[in-house]
Structure 1
Amino acid sequence: MIWAFIALLAGGILKGATGAGAPIIAVPVIALLYDVPFAIVMFSFPNLLSNLWQGWQYRDHQMGEGFTWRFAVAGAIGAGLGTVILANVPSDLLVALVAMSVFVYIGFRLARPDWFLPFSLARRIVWPVGTLAGMMQGAGGVSAPVSITFLNAMKPERAAFVGTVSVFFVAMAAIQIPLLAWYGFLDWHRLGLSLLALLPILGGMPIGAALAKRLSKQVFDRLILTLLALVALRLLIEVTL
C-alpha cells in the first residue's frame, strides 16, 4: 500500500500545481500494483470530494454560455457507459487502455503544446468530446487525454479551467460511484480505503502549489510526463508478460 500512498500523494501534488490531473498519475500506478477496477474504486471518492471542494471555491469562474454544464452532463453519460465497459471487458484490455491513454496524452502534449481551440468550435463539439472523456474515465479511470487536452486547448484562465473541470469530474463521479457499487466493485471495505485515499491527495495539493511557484511550468511538465511514460511502459510490459 505504500506505493499506492505515494501515487496518491504525487497525484495530489499534480492537482495542487495545475488544478487537475491527479488520476493521470494515481490510477496507472495503482492499476499496476493491483488492477484497473481497484484503481478506479480507490480514486472514486477522492475524485468526488476534492473536486466538490475545488468546484465550490471556483464556482464563479466556470466557462460560460452553458458550456460547463453541457460538458459535465456529457461526461456523466460517458462515465456511465464506461463503467458498463469496465464490468464486461477483460482486465488486460483495461490495463492496455489505461497505458495507451497515458501515451496519447503524453504524445499530444509534446507534439502540440501550443494548439489553440476556439471557444466557438469547442461549444459545437462539447457533447461528443465530453462523452468520450467520460467513457475513458469510467472504463479506465483516466479522462485526461481527452478532457484536460480539450480544455487546455482553449487556453482558459486557471480559475476558469479549475471551475469547469471540477464540475465535470463531480458529474462523472456522481454517476460512476453508484454504478461501481451496483456492479460489485465498490463495497464497504473499499469505500473506507477510498475515503482514506483522500488524505494523501489533500496532503499533496499544498506541496504542488508551492512547487508550481518554484519550478518553471516547462520543467514541471517534463518531470510529470517522464514519470507518466515510465508508468505506462511498465503497464504495457505487465500486459504482455
Structure 2
Amino acid sequence: MDQTTLLLFIAATFVVAGFVKGVIGLGLPTIAVGILGVVMAPAQAAALLVIPNLVTNSWQLSGPKLKAIALRLWPMLAGTCLGTWAGAGLLEKAKDGSATLWLGVALVLYALVGLKAAKLRVPAAHEAWLGPVVGVLTGVSTAATGVFVLPAVPYLQALGFEKEELVQALGLSFIVSTVALAFGLIGAGALDWTIAGASLLALLPALAGMGVGQAIRQRISAATFKLCFFAGLLALGCYLVLRAMG
C-alpha cells in the first residue's frame, strides 16, 4: 500500500469510527484500532488515537453530576491506570501477532455482550472491591490491545446510571484510559512528537464523522443501528482472530 493510499485509508477509518461514536456515544477506539490493525501494528494505531480520543470524549463530561460520578468511580479509574502501566509495552512488544489476536477476542466478546443486550446489575455493596478489579482488568486489556471497552463498559452499564450519567461515566472512563495508555506508549517509545502530530491530524476526520453521526442519530432507530454495529464488530473481531491464528 503506497503512502497516499495509506493516508486515505487512515482518514476514512477515522471518519467511520467518528461516525459510530457520534451515533452511539462510544466505539471510536474499538473501530479505529480494529480496522487500522489490518495495515499497521496495534501500538501505532493506538498512538494515532490519543488526541481524537481525548477530544471526542471531552464533550461527554459536561453535566452537574460529574463530581459525584468521579467520586463513585475513582477506585475503578485508579485500577485502570495501574493495570495500564503494569502492562505498558505489551502493544509494542507483541511482534508475534498476539496483540491482534487479543484485540480480536476483545471485539468478539464486546460484540456478543452488545448483541445479547444483557441487563447486568452490580449491587452497591460490591462496588468497593469489584470496581478496582474491573479497572485493573480494563487497564491490562487496554495495554495489550489499545481498546478500553472491556470489562469497563459492561460494568458501567451495570451500575444503574441514568442515561446522561452513563454518558458522563463513559466519557470519564475513556479519558482516563486514554491518558494512562498515552503515558504507557510514551514509555514504550511508541508515542513521540511525530506521532502526536499525526494524531492531531487524525482528529479532523474523526470530528467530521462524529458530526454526521450525531445528526443521523436523530433520524434513525438507535436499536437498529446498534444491532448492525455489534454484528459488524463481531465480524471484524472474528476476522482479526482468524488472521492472527493463520
Residues 155 and 216 (structure 1), Cα distance of their counterparts in 2 relative to 1, 3 Å cut: farther
Asked whether the 8 Å contact 1:100–1:232 carries over to 2, the reply is yes
Asked whether the 8 Å contact 1:36–1:91 carries over to 2, the reply is no
Residue of structure 1 equivalent to 2:40: 34
Unaligned 5+ residue runs, structure 2?
Answer: 1-6
Query: Among residues 53, 57, 63, which one is paired with 1:58 in the alignment?
Result: 63
How big is each residue's C-alpha offset from its partner over 1:125-160, in whole Å with a ceiling of 9 and x where there is no partner?
A: 111001111221122011213111111223422221
Number of residue pairs matched by the alignment: 240
Give the Cα–Cα distance (whole angstroms) in 2 for the partners of residues 72 and 199 of structure 1.
28
Residue of structure 2 equivalent to 1:23: 29
| TM-score, with length taken from structure 2 | 0.87
**What is the root-mean-square deviation of aligned Cα atoms in Å?**
2.2
Query: Among residues 7, 14, 22, which one is paired with 1:8 in the alignment?
Result: 14
After TM superposition, give the deviation of residue 112 of structure 1 in Å: 4.6
Query: Among residues 173, 181, 200, which one is paired with 2:178 in the alignment?
Result: 173
Asked whether the 8 Å contact 1:81–1:135 carries over to 2, the reply is yes
Residue of structure 1 equivalent to 2:223: 218
Residue of structure 1 equivalent to 2:241: 236
Asked whether the 8 Å contact 1:62–1:164 carries over to 2, the reply is no
Unaligned 5+ residue runs, structure 1?
Answer: none
| TM-score, with length taken from structure 1 | 0.89
Asked whether the 8 Å contact 1:67–1:123 carries over to 2, the reply is no
Corresponding letter in the other structure for 1:111: K
Identity %: 24
Residues 119 and 205 (structure 1), Cα distance of their counterparts in 2 relative to 1, 3 Å cut: farther
Residue of structure 1 equivalent to 2:198: 193
Give the Cα–Cα distance (whole angstroms) in 2 for the partners of residues 59 and 87 of structure 1.
39
Residue of structure 2 equivalent to 1:156: 161
Residues 209 and 194 (structure 1), Cα distance of their counterparts in 2 relative to 1, 3 Å cut: same
Query: Among residues 110, 121, 124, which one is paired with 1:105 in the alignment?
Result: 110
Kindly report structure 1 stretches of 4+ aligned residues shifted beyond 6 Å: none
Query: Any idea what SS the aligned residue of 1:117 has?
Result: coil
Residue of structure 2 equivalent to 1:96: 101
